[in-house]
Structure 1
Amino acid sequence: MKEPQSDNHIVARRRALRNAALSAREALTVTARGALERRLEVHLADLLERLAPRRLAFCWPFRAEPDLRHFVARWLAQDASRLAALPVVTDREAPLAFRRWTPGMRLEPDRHGIPHPPTGEDVVPELVLVPLNAFDAAGFRLGYGGGYFDRTLAVLDALAVGVGYELGRVDTVLPQPHDRAMDWLVTEAGTFRATL
């Protein structure tokens, strides 16, 4: 009979999965990452066309995550009724807030150095593009360990679309009770419905 894994063992394995995915992603050249982003954007555009959100949240690229700024700017330009938003940490233990983003607007770095709108219109997104470090087919992901998206998705009535590169795909991220699965996963290889 297999021994149950201790909490410390699970935490260590999750940390190792996260670090391996981050290292692999950060090792990509700018050219290689750009090629992956272009392929990913094709699949993401198809999914957004099918789901047809009017209010979309996305993340400013951090640590070699897919850079979706130009993609979102093009998405906004296609329909004046669309809104885009960036996440804002208002309290480390609270769900994220989302503030309207427009291309070229003034942003300020947060405590992690990630640009965000310091003030502005709050937006309740219909769909959130969530960065993936390590992820599995069930739609579970590893972020950076702060739990921000898990807390947010627990209270937000929005579709969660994980966006990342196949190099982060693993058999399991060893999801914990607080983890929230993505509804969809989008990578350079295609669009996948999470298989919970």
Structure 2
Amino acid sequence: MNDLIETKAAARAAAFSRREAAFANAHKAQASYLSEVLAGYRGVPIAGYAPMRTEIDPLPALAEASAHGPVGMPVIKAKATPLDFRDWTPECDMIEGTFGAFIPASGNWIEPEIVIVPLVAFDRKGGRLGYGGGFYDRTLERLRARRATLAIGFAFAAQEADALPLEPTDQPLDMIVTETGIITPA
């Protein structure tokens, strides 16, 4: 198990470095492919995220989607639990939540059918390396036990890895969207 932890730590460090370089060169249209994908799901409840640090920014695509249906933002309620999602609009008041992520200050809770997933690294098989807390894996497992739930990884193309150290509890991505295109896992 220690080898897997060390391997994941090394993969995260390399991916953070690639993401930081991509973030430095980010452009305003980086969410255009995400907007294109979400346009095909108008009215379907969607969960996104408010970017932090060097994450790619999904907010322009989420703002568009919010004009056609509910959009939620993740809220961490406790360590080692699934995320819950609070209703979000571009105009809503945001407050700092756990780990510095901004969340809606108030609002109804929604259950998404599509989850836009932030990540540290991805591979073309739909593998995802996150921050290590397991929040999205637990969340996707819970949602998928209730109904079909589409998990869309959103990342800079530079975050792609040839292979990732994955565990059986890691939930796969159904699609990866980058600033350069759309990837359907093989």
Q: Give the match's secondary structure for 1:33.
A: coil
Match of 2:50 in 1: 60
Q: Work out which of the residue numbers 21, 31, 37 in structure 2 matches 1:27.
A: 21
C-alpha separation between the residues in 2 aligned to 1:119 and 1:90?
A: 14
1:13 correspondence with 2:7: yes
Structure 2 counterpart of 1:183, which letter? D
CA positional deviation for 1:33: 1.1
1:135 correspondence with 2:126: no
1:170 correspondence with 2:161: yes
* Gap runs ≥5 in structure 2: none
Contact 1:160/1:184 (<8 A) preserved:
yes
Contact 2:81/2:138 (<8 A) preserved:
yes
Structure 2 counterpart of 1:23, which letter? S
Alignment of 1:16-95 (within 5 A): 16-28=10-22, 30=24, 32-34=25-27, 38=29, 40-52=30-42, 54-77=44-67, 79=68, 82-95=69-82
Identity %: 35
CA positional deviation for 1:105: 1.3
C-alpha separation between the residues in 1 aligned to 2:122 and 2:23?
A: 21
CA positional deviation for 1:135: 0.8
Return the TM-score normalized by structure 2.
Answer: 0.90
C-alpha separation between the residues in 2 aligned to 1:126 and 1:172?
A: 28
Quick one: structure 1 residues 44 and 112, their matched pair in 2 at CA, closer, same or farther if it must change by over 3 Å?
same
Match of 1:116 in 2: 103
Alignment of 1:140-155 (within 5 A): 140-155=127-142
Structure 2 counterpart of 1:34, which letter? H
CA positional deviation for 1:149: 0.1
Q: Work out which of the residue numbers 161, 184, 187 in structure 1 matches 2:178.
A: 187
CA positional deviation for 1:29: 5.6
Q: Give the match's secondary structure for 1:182.
A: coil
Return the TM-score normalized by structure 1.
Answer: 0.85
CA positional deviation for 1:111: 2.8
C-alpha separation between the residues in 1 aligned to 2:23 and 2:57?
A: 14
Name the larger-Rg structure: 1
Quick one: structure 1 residues 165 and 111, their matched pair in 2 at CA, closer, same or farther if it must change by over 3 Å?
same
Contact 1:22/1:63 (<8 A) preserved:
no
Structure 1 counterpart of 2:27, which letter? G
Quick one: structure 1 residues 159 and 105, their matched pair in 2 at CA, closer, same or farther if it must change by over 3 Å?
same
Structure 2 counterpart of 1:163, which letter? F
* Gap runs ≥5 in structure 1: 1-6
C-alpha separation between the residues in 2 aligned to 1:42 and 1:104?
A: 21
